[in-house]
Amino acid sequence: MINVTGAVIANRLSEINDWNILLLEAGGDGGDIYDIPVLAANLQLTSIDWQYKTESNDNYCRGMQDGRCNWPRGKVLGGSSVLNYMLYVRGNKKDYDTWEKLGNPGWSYEDVLPYFKKSEDNRNRSYTETRYHSTGGYLTVQEPPYQTPLANAFVKGGQEMGYEARNINGEQQAGFMIAQGTTRDGSRCSTAKAFLRPAKSRKNLHVALEAHVTKILIDPSSKTAYGVEFVREGETLRVHANKEVIVSAGAVNSPQLLMLSGIGPAEHLSQHGIPVIEDLKVGHNLQDHIGSLTPTFIVNETVSYTESQLYNAYDILNYAIFGKGPLTVLGGVETFGFVNTKYVNASDDYPDLGFLFLAGSLNSDNGRNLWRIIGLKREAYEAMFNELDEKGNNAWTVLPMLLRPRSKGVIKLRSDDPFDYPLIYPNYLEHPLDVATLVEGIKFLVELSETASLKRYGSEINPKPFPGCENIPVMTDEYWECVVRHYTLTVYHPSGTCKMGPSTDPEAVVDAMLRVYGVKGLRVVDASIMPNIVSGNTNAPVIMIAEKGSDIIKEEWLSVCSEQSWENDLQQTESLNVNKVYSSVNQSSSTITIGYLVNSEWKG
């Protein structure tokens, strides 16, 4: 069950010609329609989305259907990089320095910067002339070729509020910039496109789609992982790996798979009748960036995106032929802003809030689908937006992002059935400072809307109150807290559920080499290993983790190989005609093993 990282690891490991790499992907392959950037939101609740939901809790998501938050995750080759908003944000330098201080050598900012650059092919020359960016990598990063006038208005408004216009992935983070994303010539550049397509002709790389991994095979006596079990086309198959198994299924599926395989909290596994192989805090330390619905700001000019303005013959042809026009915009997000609330020291350059500025709003599709995608109750949408739909107003809005939430959650098994969705308890807003920080963020946005740069377009707040909060005086802290608790939104960045840490850390699941404690031949390489969530979108950081993880694996195994002969293994592999045996499988991924197929079993 691959996520963003699996495609990267498969590419990098298959660079070693003597290694056979098999990727298993629970979903299918993506189509060209998924590559249209502006459609990002509309990919949720489709067949390429796992369509997870959190369990209900009165602290958050009160105004959502059944009191539950939607949690989209990619079920497709390339994982969530196929349905995310493509935003390229690395986080703050201090995030990685903190990882190292927590007992993870080799993960400081200066250690990981080369891995950000290794992937990158940044098309902005002013950035690549600095030490922070590079060209020539597999992953294309660029600004969309189209922007509304609001894009620069957001940046200028931020300057009026005292923030610099700067590259937030460079020397300092606090500030505003036109968004960069993982796009290439106006089209989505997922990790499947960036890393797997260039490697598809390698004879040692094998990929199986619609292959749902159900269990890691572990010898209980030696505690050694020797393969995985998966279901494909109704048939249960086993894959054997002589070297190791790499789990890259993301912060939901990776802990689920480990627990199903006997690695996790002993008491919890025993409740489901799963034999305990290693008692670890798998599924704990769950962190996610959250925001909430914020006021919609109505403008008096046609400067934002509406569905009727987007889907016309000219713009469709402009995109299809030239890769230009409004369809190239990153899900409607045009500008980043990273700001300091009163709860942090601004001189530290460690902002506690991020903003994703959208030249559109929840009613940009006139009530067709966006409200359903975020899980809003229909009656709540109608109360806030029906009049705007009738008038066809242009508008803008912002998704705030709580960068370092103090509230932490947990992923648990629903049952021992690998096809049962896990229980997701994010525990959003449990810490009062999380609520207070988001309240300050909404107040900042209201103030920003009053700047000359945005008043130029007649920005006015939608006067309709948020349903469920009508009886609280508007514009007060109490009112905004009510809004945050009713209309809580994930920013799609679950992390931390297979925590990286030293052996002295009681919550650690993997060490700094990403090896699972107590189990040989098993690693986790994805967002779940983050000890603390980074202060920004996780798309770029998880690709960095995959790049660094690949080098860790290479260095370890090539060091072993330099001390012993591989000739016997190679002769055995060649005699089995690996490529012919698995020739019917191509272009997909999920859990990664190094090995070959023998009598219906793949061996490494």
For the annotated binding site for FAD, the residues are 76, 213
Upper half-sphere CA count for residue 283 (Cβ side, 13 Å): 24
In degrees rounded to 5, what are phi and psi of residue 214?
-110, -20
Residues in CB range of 75: below 8 A, 6 or more apart: 1, 26, 27, 47, 48, 49, 50
In 120-227, which residue ranges form alpha helices assigned H by DSSP? 125-128, 149-160, 191
* CA-based nearest residue to 362, from 463, 294, 299: 294
Could you give the CA distance from residue 54 to residue 56 in angstroms, rounded to a whole number? 6
Could you give the CA distance from residue 252 to residue 409 in angstroms, rounded to a whole number? 12
Could you give the CA distance from residue 557 to residue 348 in angstroms, rounded to a whole number? 41
In degrees rounded to 5, what are phi and psi of residue 418?
-65, -15
Structure-block tokens of residue 184: 């290439």
Could you give the CA distance from residue 1 to residue 137 in angstroms, rounded to a whole number? 25
Residues in CB range of 41: below 8 A, 6 or more apart: 331, 332, 370, 373
CA 29 to each of CA 25, 44, 197, 298, 590: distance values in angstroms, whole numbers, following the listed order: 9, 16, 12, 39, 12
* CA-based nearest residue to 214, from 194, 242, 238, 233: 238
> CA 327, 331, 337, 338: dihedral to nearest 10 degrees?
-150
What is the length of the chain?
Answer: 604
Strand spans (E) along 25-164: 52-53, 70-71, 120-122, 139-141
Question: What does R_g of the chain's alpha carbons equal in angstroms?
Answer: 24
CA 339 to each of CA 97, 99, 125, 302, 442: distance values in angstroms, whole numbers, following the listed order: 20, 22, 26, 28, 12
* CA-based nearest residue to 445, from 534, 351, 337: 337
CA angle 43, 48, 53 (to 5 degrees): 80
Q: At what angle do helices 109-119 and 93-101 cross, to 10 degrees?
A: 130
Residues in CB range of 97: below 8 A, 6 or more apart: 108, 109
Choosing from 133, 206, 486, 493, which is the catalytic residue? 493
In degrees rounded to 5, what are phi and psi of residue 417?
-85, 120
Could you give the CA distance from residue 316 to residue 290 in angstroms, rounded to a whole number? 33
Strand spans (E) along 290-385: 290-292, 297-299, 333-339, 353-358
Q: Which residues participate in the annotated binding site?
A: 76, 213
In degrees rounded to 5, what are phi and psi of residue 439?
-60, -45
Residues in CB range of 236: below 8 A, 6 or more apart: 214, 229, 230
Other Cβ atoms less than 10 A from the Cβ of 45: the count is 15
Could you give the CA distance from residue 12 to residue 440 in angstroms, rounded to a whole number? 43
Catalytic annotation on 493?
Answer: yes
Instruction: Point out the residues that are catalytic.
Output: 493
